[in-house]
Chains A and B, each alone.
Chain A
Amino acid sequence: MQLIRRSALLLLLLPLPAAAGVLPEDRADLMYHYYDGGGVTIDGPSLLVRKKFAEKYAVNASYYIDMVSSASIDVITTASPYDEERTQYGVGFEYLRGKVTYAASFSNSSENDYDADTASVSISQDMFGDLTTVSLSFTRSWDDVTRRGDATFADKIDRRIYGVDVSQVATKNLIFGFSFETITEEGFLNNPYRQVRFVDPDEALGYGYEFERYPRTRTGNALSARARWYLPYRAALQADYRFYTDTWEIRGSTAEIAYTHPLDDEWTFDVHYRYYTQNGAEFYSDLFPREDFQNFLARDKELASMQSHTLGIGVGYEFKPAWTDFLGKAAINLKYDRIRFEYDDFRDLRTTGFAPGAEPLYQFDADVIRLFFSGWF
């Protein structure tokens, strides 16, 4: 379904971070994730294991499950609540030669109406006395889209992502970085289930529904900058900003500030605030004036004019496990985020007694929890 289709996207597309000049530590993470918001509950486990050999090679493997129970506003107004599951696995390889790290990864995501294969390669190099790291990456993915209950429908998406990232040590207490990514997509980009609404005086509600129609291409560009300071006492402050624009005329800005405060060598506390805003896609409307009003039609709230606010906290405890010599150290982390999504032109159709187009605007809060155990071996 739509939520999972979008969900399937970029989790797959992001290769594991590759730090040039040094391979990642031998580490395993087992996480339980939970999301509850807007009538949708998603939870499941996630596992990531990394292991290096001879200080030159590293491999990683990941496994991830989303168990979804959805009664979202879209489902309530045009379909029936459903349960489903998405499974994803990934493998990766890194090779360090001198100050250059080469990385390659592959992943697959599957659910009952969507399947995606993703391959990614990247190269990172340390330069200027190891103060600068430059990374280039290329990702390609091939998605198969189907529709439950309709054996005649099948389509594809071909996606390419080109990325460059620079990370720079500025002073002994400050690092900053820049990233730029271009994402091009071609194929069936809308949700095969979602519908738009249009004014129809013949309907009892005053409006009728027809299926969404999106352009078959989309190209987006994202540019981000970030800085992290080591404060005069042992703590860190980070600021991030990202600007996004695409050929559907969506422009989005993301700003975030985060603070990390360790206590002794065992406890770590995090707090962060994130703000996001975007305008709507050019072919989006909450209510079209009539059926087939234009070539492209969308009523996906992800493409509406919207804002989101996130306030998050986290606590981590690091320890040496007494029950095993295998793990040099271990950590338990609990993170909680509260997100509010507010829409400027997506109306709440669950309400009654309003003229079409005069319903209250939709908004909802989401709770996100991550509980994970990490072991270094």
Chain B
Amino acid sequence: MSLGRLAATALLLVAAAGCSRLEPWVKPYERENIADPIMAWDRDPVSSSYMRHVYESREGARGAAGASGGGCGCN
């Protein structure tokens, strides 16, 4: 199977999956560890944005520093 056909098949499967309701595989009562403050992507935004500033002032690459999403699903 060519790479293109494989990709098209995978896309169809993903699209088909979208028609059914997706059950969360990590239940709300199982999210205690994920909700721990030590698991936050960005625990101290003032500090982390400053470090991005330090690097981007001195390196050619920039962007996609990420960690802007929540994703905890704790609420």
Contact = CB atoms under 8 A, between A and B. Distances in A.
Interface of A: 3, 6-7, 9-11, 14-22, 29, 31, 33, 35, 46, 48, 122, 124, 126, 128-135, 137, 161, 163, 165-173, 175, 177-183, 220-224, 226, 228, 230, 234-236, 240, 242, 244, 246, 248, 250, 252, 254, 260, 262, 268, 276, 278, 281, 302-303, 306, 308, 333, 335, 337, 339, 341, 366, 368, 370, 372, 374
B71 A132 contact: yes
A102 to B, nearest CB: 14
A130 B75 contact: yes
B50 A33 contact: yes
Contacts of B72: 19, 22, 130, 169, 175
Which 8 residue pairs are nearest across A and B when measured between Cβ atoms?
A: A129-B24, A19-B70, A167-B71, A130-B73, A167-B69, A252-B61, A244-B61, A222-B64
Interface string B1-37: 0000000000000000000001111101011111010
Nearest to A261: B38
Interface in B42-65: 42, 44-47, 49-65
Given A14-B52, A131-B25, A370-B50, A302 B60 contact: yes
A177 B67 contact: yes
22 contacts: A9-B57, A15-B68, A17-B69, A22-B75, A46-B50, A48-B45, A131-B73, A133-B71, A135-B68, A175-B72, A220-B63, A222-B61, A222-B62, A223-B64, A224-B66, A230-B38, A235-B38, A242-B66, A308-B59, A339-B54, A370-B51, A372-B44
